[in-house]
Amino acid sequence: MTYNVKLFFEDDHEAAITCAPDEDVISAALRQGLILMSECREGVCSTCKCFLADGEYGELMSHSVYALSPGEAEEGYVLACRLRPTSDMEIEFDYPFSMVQQYEETERRGSLDQIEMVSDTVARVVVRTMGAQDPLRYLPGQFVRISLTNGVSRDFSMANVPDDSRRLEFFLRVYPDGEFSSYIARDASPGEQVTLYGPRGKFILRDNDRTPVFIAGGTGLAPVLAMLRDLAADRPAQRAVLIFGNTNVGDVFGAEELKVLTEQMTNLEVISGVLNPDDSWTGEVGTATEIAQKYISGTDRSQFEYYYCGPPKMIEATTQMLETIGVARELRHHEDFVPSRMEESHG
Ligand SMILES: Cc1cc2nc3c(=O)[nH]c(=O)nc-3n(C[C@H](O)[C@H](O)[C@H](O)COP(=O)(O)OP(=O)(O)OC[C@H]3O[C@@H](n4cnc5c(N)ncnc54)[C@H](O)[C@@H]3O)c2cc1C
Ligand code: FES
């Protein structure tokens, strides 16, 4: 016995697959040649989150509360990689069908080209991929999994736009006990080999006329920089807003990059804030979410579309804030920097 599963995409495109009773929707789609957006396929990353418009299932397989909160589950959201239908189904995805075809994961060999601390807690890392392989093609906002030769692997978002230079730029938050980041900050040296898997993720700029409001917490600025750099090249007159929050003044980075962007994009408004100011601080005070709320509530927000990225607590707070002020789900897109050692399972 199989179930008929209809898939609906953001651009009104439809697809149909069948799903065996012991099969999850991502695997069933793959078996039938459709690569739906997914990364971990273990209920951790939330990339496969979608809306169940119709149909039944027993219980989602085990997953992280960061990937799907109980509130979202109640609203009807599911994780396709954890979903085994027990009836025919209709599922809605918040990305266009073109993403299904474009998403082809590849592996690239590369080496660490530059490593420099750009604030007390953030390192800028440039990886150069091997000349023997094609340059990595990705959409601004996507990320790769970087694997070190010592076996530690973590996800990091590209901050630059794809080009033929083979150069990928990353901003890493350095945690004193972080397996990946402290190794990079203390022990790694240029020339060291790395392997990249990707591109992954669907945190990309939607192609419409709305004003993007980016809310970045710490190194959550990385994918936002990629999107802004892409806008600066393609649509420099586009109105855009960036709210960039950090905990301490010493954490703040990216001033040079943002200065270049504001010169290139005449309608880019950048609002920077910290939670713990010192005497030198002249920007806003508060969390990224609080500063965003203040900005949004004092402005005509009818044309805004929101893109937010950062650590789980910031994502949770921002989602809650946007929900409270009545922002529709389809106007909210986020990337949650779930740290791999904080993955918490339930279900
Ligand atoms: C899709 C995706 C994209 C990402 N992109 C980026 C990026 O561009 N830049 C970036 O800096 N990170 C990014 N991350 C997070 C990154 O993958 C690592 O998880 C993070 O940098 C910690 O790795 P680590 O090995 O240094 O620390 P770990 O060894 O995994 O953790 C060590 C300890 O550090 C603390 N810690 C780690 N992360 C956090 C946190 N967020 N909040 C509070 N405490 C924490 C915890 O105490 C943890 O036990 C991304 C994550 C995802 C899922
Ligand atoms: S693919 Fe990661 S939660 Fe489903």
The CATH number of the domain holding residue 30 is: 3.10.20.30
Q: What is the mean pLDDT of residues 322-327?
A: 93
Q: Is residue 53 part of a domain?
A: yes
Q: Would the pLDDT of 157 be above 80? A: yes
Q: What is the mean pLDDT of residues 174-195?
A: 95
List the beta bridge partners of residue 167. Answer: 128
Which residue has the least CA distance to atom 30 on ligand 1? Answer: 341
* Residue ending a domain, choose from 179, 200, 221: 200
Ligand 2: centre distance to CA 246 (Å): 28
The proportion of the chain whose per-residue pLDDT surpasses 90, expressed as a percent, equals 79
Both 9 and 73 in one domain: the answer is yes
Q: What is the pLDDT of residue 345?
A: 36
Both 289 and 235 in one domain: the answer is yes
Long-range contacts from 55-61, C-beta under 8 angstroms, 24+ separation: 55/3, 55/5, 55/85, 55/87, 55/88, 55/89, 55/90, 55/91, 56/85, 56/86, 56/87, 56/89, 57/83, 57/84, 57/85, 57/86, 57/87, 57/89, 58/84, 58/86, 59/347, 60/347, 61/24, 61/347
Q: Which residues line ligand 2 (CB under 6 A)?
A: 38-41, 43-48, 67, 79, 81
Q: Is residue 205 part of a domain?
A: no
Both 33 and 58 in one domain: the answer is yes
Q: What is the pLDDT of residue 101?
A: 67
Which residues have C-beta within 8 Å of that of residue 66, sequence separation ≥ 6? Answer: 44, 46, 312, 336, 338, 342, 343, 344
Ligand 1: centre distance to CA 282 (Å): 29
Q: Would the pLDDT of 201 be above 50? A: yes
Domain range for 244? 211-345
Both 94 and 109 in one domain: the answer is no
Atom of ligand 1 nearest to the CA of 173: 11
Both 121 and 76 in one domain: the answer is no
Atom of ligand 2 nearest to the CA of 45: 2
Q: Is residue 236 part of a domain?
A: yes
| Residue 290 belongs to domain with CATH number | 3.40.50.80
Q: What is the mean pLDDT of residues 308-319?
A: 94
Both 217 and 339 in one domain: the answer is yes
* Residue ending a domain, choose from 151, 173, 200: 200
Q: What is the mean pLDDT of residues 243-248?
A: 98
Tell me the C-alpha distance between 219 and 331, whole Å: 22
Pocket flag, ligand 1, residue 283 (CB < 6 Å) = no
Atom of ligand 2 nearest to the CA of 41: 1
Q: Would the pLDDT of 311 be above 70? A: yes
Q: Is residue 47 part of a domain?
A: yes
Which band of pLDDT confidence, cut at 50, 70 and 90, is reported for residue 343? very low
Ligand 2: centre distance to CA 250 (Å): 34
Q: Is residue 24 part of a domain?
A: yes
Both 154 and 187 in one domain: the answer is yes
Q: What is the mean pLDDT of residues 141-153?
A: 94
| Residue 179 belongs to domain with CATH number | 2.40.30.10
* Residue ending a domain, choose from 101, 125, 151: 101
Ligand 1: centre distance to CA 337 (Å): 6
Q: Which ligand is nearest to the CA of 172?
A: 1
Which range is least confidently modeled, 163-167, 192-196, 202-206, 270-274? 202-206
Q: Is residue 235 part of a domain?
A: yes
> Number of folded domains in the chain?
3
pLDDT in tens, 41-58: 888 888 899 999 999 999
- Which of 341, 343, 344 to mutate to test ligand 1, by most ligand atoms within 8 A of the CB atom? 341
Q: Is residue 206 part of a domain?
A: no
